[in-house]
Amino acid sequence: MTDYAQFLPLAQEAVDLAHDLMRTLRPGALTFKNDRDMASEVDYAIERAVREHLAAKAPDIGFLGEEYGSSGDISTLTWALDPVDGTVNFIHGSPLCAISLGLIHGTDAVLGVIDLPFLGTRYHAAKGHGAHANNRRIHASRVTDLKDAVVAIGDYAVGTEAGRKNTERLAITEQLTRHVQRIRMHGSAAIDLAWLAQGRIDAFIMLNNKPWDTVAGVVIAREAGALVVDIDGTPHSVNAVATIGGGELILPHVLTLIQRSLTPVKPA
C-alpha cells in the first residue's frame, strides 16, 4: 500500500506559498462566475502558483483546481485545490476562509492540508497517520445526543435551481432547530470539516460535493475519528452527491434527521 505521508512535505510547501499570497494580496477585481458566485484575483493567483509548484515537483500527479479545472494525468493520483475556500468571507474581511489542498487516489481522499491564514491554524492528515492541527494530534467529538450537538451546515444554494435546493436546505434547518443544541454556518466547507476533526463542531451537513472543497477536509476528519458519508450513508468519495460528517455516535441520528426532512409528507 502507498504511504501517502510521503507527499505531505510537498503539500505543505505548496500551501506555504498560498498562505503568503493570501496574507499579502488584496482581493482585487472580482470575476462573477454565475449567480452570486465569484472569484477574486487572489483565488487565481494562488491556484496558478500552487499548480506550477506541484507540476514542477511532482509532474506525474494530476491537478484539479476550482478556477482553472484539471491538468495532467488525473486517472490515479490527483491534487485537488480550493485556493480560497470562503471567497465571500475573504473579500468581506472575515477570517473564516481557508486554503484547501487534498490528494485523491482513484476516487478516495488520501491526504489533506487545510490552512487558515487569518486564524493561525494549519491542519494536516495522511491516510493511516492521524490528523493534526499545528502538528498536535486532534480527535473528533464523542457527543452521543443531538440535543448536545453543534451542527454546521453548508451555504444555501445560488445559481441554477437554487429555489428547489434551498427548500431542501431549509427543511433540514427547520428540523435541526428542533433537535440540536446550536446550528452554525461558517461559509467554508474546509473549515467545517477541519473543525469537525477538532471537535469544535459535532456534525456537518452539506448537500453538495465539489472535490476541491472537500477532499482535504474529508481525510482530516476521518483520520480524527469522524465518519464522512454521502446522503444515503455510504462512504464519501469524490463521486458523492453530498458531504455529511459526524462522530460515529452522532452520525446515525443526523442521517435520520436528514431523511426525515427530505421525505415528502403524504396527505392524510
Dihedral-angle region of residue 90 (phi above 0 means left; psi in -120 to 50 means alpha; beta otherwise): alpha
CA-CA distance, 189 to 204, in Å (whole number)? 9
| pTM, rounded to two decimals | 0.94
CA-CA distance, 235 to 250, in Å (whole number)? 16
One digit per residue, the tens of pLDDT, for the chain of length 268 reads 789 999 999 999 999 999 999 999 999 888 887 767 779 999 999 999 999 999 999 999 999 999 989 898 888 999 999 999 999 999 999 999 999 999 999 999 999 999 999 999 999 999 999 999 999 999 999 999 999 999 999 998 887 788 888 999 999 999 999 999 999 999 999 999 999 999 999 999 999 999 999 999 999 999 999 999 999 999 999 999 999 999 999 999 999 999 999 876 544 4
CA-CA distance, 202 to 104, in Å (whole number)? 25
What is the radius of gyration, based on Cα positions, of the chain?
18
Q: Which pLDDT belongs to residue 268?
A: 43
